[in-house]
Structure 1
């Protein structure tokens, strides 16, 4: 009956709930031993499903969920699963969850409709324009260790896309901002392979947002469960070590945790707009010493004959992007970092994203000497990248371009938040306070999973303690927060 002599395994559990990890099945049980509700017959190391025992589970309001088709086998070019469910007495819906090897396999209008429905406020990094720019510019592609494996849930009856997930098969841990290098080292020391791994994220972008982008339907909770089960199944059958979801929304983070993912927290620095009328209005909420320091730093800009400008949309020309790429490379070179983004990426976003891009530049005479790249969301300004002219130093220019100009822009645009990105305790004294960020991790190996779980519990207690201390020693007057 079976085409090979490999060890046999099964997975059991409801597709709308957690799936158990692989458990060896004694050969003497044969096929009869596999007659378990919701079981899948697997061959290891082939990882091919032989038998699927269809499951049926009654749910509230006569809802029923069945798994119809299950096959991630690339040799069949059918990377997909199918699910069906019935709401009350309506005709059963068949949902196909598949994998796309490029975001261009998904119509931009469909992707953006999912992204808009999934968020309360517009998030520029979830758009087809941003993600396609990463692929088009060869910044996040297979050759750089970011193989697109985006998930798509489609209604077979209507052809409508109901959900998408930005997902990548990765061969390293660079450009993620949630550090797991020590986990990879531990795997390696025991002779195991940590890479490749799956990563659901926005490449090179530590910005919180939903990762399962759902259309707003009455049955979206079903689609969420289908997608999540498909993600876990793809991880298991692809023989990779793990699946990581970084910077999801807090509500998603709780859902992933309930489905067997290990929760992790981190910290970033954000500025909050308390209905300020202008920059001086904001300064009045600061302690006197901090207010004085900021004013002194800002005075240094004029003293150096620097002119600051905030450019949007058509105001940003090709020469600005070429200069900014030089600044960006100078930053990565000086910090021994990797220049993840190509020159073409900056030109792409400039042409595709229009007024959602804000480029802060510093000019000395007619020459551009520094810049800071920002993106404008529904209620947030996202500060992303900074750089200056090679072999040049301008005191306080980094603070002006990245933090003070961003605050002024947020007040002017009536935005609630400025997200200044990861790391940098120096941001606190300039009005940016720590906030919690989230990630969750699904590891196949049980021993490593338990060890990492213990580590994450200890790490979380330390992160919370540090955040409390930083808030207590913050730059604002008593009673402001």
Structure 2
């Protein structure tokens, strides 16, 4: 048994940037102190928004050895692993599903580390101990359940071995198969699919649209303001509200982690008309936010997918995660992949029911992924 001390803090500022990033690092952008602090300081994440920070800080012999972003949730918005039916079942049986304890990156369905450690050699023993300590803590605070979302596959497997139920879901990611450049990428397509993609890019150009890709440090204050207007307009059209994230969130990121930001701007007659914001680390580009003030045919695909692929090939990034959902990505060269989450429910009867549901869902998603992979545009090989 490890001699651990677990501390739960209701603001990441109580930990501080140096201590948090000592465990979380500064590569994967979404567990960086700067990203999580921007969510809290801007008010995007707060108790009155249903996201009460409850971050885990792990000490051994008074030394910080790990951190884990945690939230007490009073709803299931902004998670992208949908458990509304579980909450409904609780309600129908006169039980409370909320609050629940959640380890995730708010509004960010991007796979990555959740338990971040100073020394990776501690991971196996530490995860085994936390698999009992975190459910016990969930009970202590009156939470119905514990959820760890979008873990890396190997970590999700360990949580499952330690008794947490495992759930899978589909996403669509791009991988560099040593294409060299965009023409090399297209050369891997079947002739018909290659012509279709080239047509989409040609139509964008024929509409008089030009695109530029800017690193975070190159984006001006006016361009940030334009991006935020696009973000709000597009959210309003799609969801009836201006988005989960206030302007202050993006302003803080621009100042504190510009090296992780990549913006694609589209213009017509030198007037900006659309913008897409991506994050990056050493190996991966993450497509996150998109918006436009006018609709143009195929512009979304160009700004959010093709410019991102070109950026990866130019910068030596091997992986492009363009975000959740979007089966239309498959025919554009994004491979169907599995995402993973883990779940613990205090109520034994509900836990058994959820386990049966997950077993059936697992079979369905496995079949779907096999069928979806047949939709890829690449040439058939022996």
Whether these two folds match at TM > 0.5 is: yes
Alignment of 1:129-148 (within 5 A): 129-148=34-53
Provide the C-alpha distance between the structure 2 equivalents of 1:314 and 1:150, rounded to a whole number of angstroms: 30
Preserved contact between residue 97 and residue 230 of structure 1 (Cα < 8 Å): no
**Secondary structure in 1 matching 2:344:** strand
Superposition TM-score, scaled by structure 2 size: 0.96
Whole-Å Cα distance in 1 between the matches of residues 334 and 237 of structure 2?
Answer: 25
Give how far 1:275 is off: 1.6
Corresponding position of 2:235: 332
**1:288 is aligned to 2:197:** no
Higher radius of gyration, 1 or 2: 1
1:443 — aligned with what?
345
Aligned residue among 15, 27, 31 for 1:126: 31
Tell me the distance in 1 between the aligned counterparts of 2:129 and 2:16. 21
Pick one of 300, 307, 310 that aligns with 2:203.
Answer: 300
Q: How far off its partner does 1:220 sit?
A: 4.1
Deviations along 1:373-430, one digit per CA (max 9) or x if unpaired, are: 10111211111111101xx211100000000000000000111111011111110111
What's the counterpart of residue 322 of structure 2? 420
**Shift, 1:113, TM fit:** 2.0
Matched-pair contact (CA < 8 Å) for 2:231–2:289: yes
Partner of 2:19: 110
Q: CA deviation at 1:155?
A: 2.5
Aligned to 1:192: 95
| Other-structure match for 1:4 | none
Counterpart CA distance in 2 for 1:98 and 1:337 is 39
Count of matched residue positions in the alignment of Structure 1 and Structure 2: 381
Other-structure match for 1:361: 265
Contact 2:170 2:338 in 1 (8 A): yes
Q: Does 1:386 align with 2:295?
A: no
Q: In the aligned structure 2, how far is the partner of 1:436 from the partner of 1:291?
A: 26
1:162 to 62, 65, 85: 65
Residue 223 of structure 1: how far off its partner (Å): 3.0
User: Any residues of structure 2 matched to 1:209-228 within 5 Å, and which?
Assistant: 209-216=112-119, 218-228=121-131
Distance 1:176 1:218, change over 3 A: closer
CA drift of 1:222 comes to: 3.3
> Greater relative contact order: 1 or 2 (C-alpha under 8 angstroms, separation 6 or more)?
2
- Higher share in helix: 2
Q: Which residue of 2 aligns with 1:208?
A: 111
Distance in 2 (CA, whole Å) between partners of 1:136 and 1:265 is 32
Question: What's the secondary structure of 2:323's corresponding residue?
Answer: strand
Give SS of 1:436's match: strand
The 1:475–1:448 alpha-carbon spacing in structure 2 relative to 1, beyond 3 Å, is same
**Distance in structure 1 (CA, Å) of the matches to 2:76 and 2:301:** 29
**Alpha-carbon spacing, 1:177–1:219, altered in 2? closer, same or farther (3 Å):** closer
Superposition pairs for residues 307-346 of structure 1, below 5 Å? 307-336=210-239, 338=241, 339-346=243-250
Q: By how many angstroms is 1:107 displaced?
A: 2.2
Residue 400, structure 1, aligned to residue 297, structure 2: no
**Aligned CA-pair RMSD:** 1.5
What corresponds to 1:101 in structure 2?
A: 10
